[in-house]
Amino acid sequence: MKSAIYPGSFDPVTLGHLDIIKRSATLCDELIVGVLNNSTKTPLFSVDERVNMLKEVTKDIPNVKVMSFSGLLVDFARQQNVQVIIRGLRAVTDFEYELALSQTNHAINSDVDTLFLTTSIEFSYLSSSMVKEIAMYGGDISKFVPTPVIDRMYAKYHG
């Protein structure tokens, strides 16, 4: 594959996301990690903070580029001249939403197709929202997020 986009909120990036990034970067010449800027949810980290954390944790993977985008993912894909979207599947609970999303994207722009990578088993339960909840109550998040993210999370909740 020439290039692909891995889109998400990444609020914040977890070891589960990083696993998908590393694995998909081996499948294409260039992987664009696209940080969504117009989520309906209020994010914990600003889009710049999310982009910077992703840049830091992917700095050793030469073919990964981190960008933010707003608007429709398929429009971003068209602008970047990319035909492949990567998404991660954790459990069957992800399936219904991801199926609708990929079919909708394909209906809007038939040049774009979605490829799914299944999560590595050790991260199958991991989500950004779970990590936020643990950090909020002062729990140990070191098994769930890359090292540079740990202090920034505690700083958000506990100053």
Listed in sequence order, the residues at least 6 apart from 28 whose beta carbon sits closer than 8 Å to its beta carbon are 1, 2, 3, 4, 63, 84
- Give the CA count within 13 Å in the CB-facing half-sphere of 80: 27
Listed in sequence order, the residues at least 6 apart from 53 whose beta carbon sits closer than 8 Å to its beta carbon are 10, 12, 13, 45, 146, 148, 149, 152
In the residue annotation, 128 being an active-site residue is answered as: yes
10 binds ligand ADP (CB under 6 A): yes
What x/- string results for residues 14 through 33 when contact with ligand ADP is judged by CB under 6 A? Answer: x-xx--x-------------
87 binds ligand ADP (CB under 6 A): yes
Q: Of 119 and 158, which has the nearer Cβ to ligand ADP?
A: 119
* Residues forming the site for ligand ADP (CB under 6 A): 8-10, 14, 16-17, 20, 87-88, 90, 94, 119, 123, 126-128
The set of catalytic residues is 17, 41, 90, 128
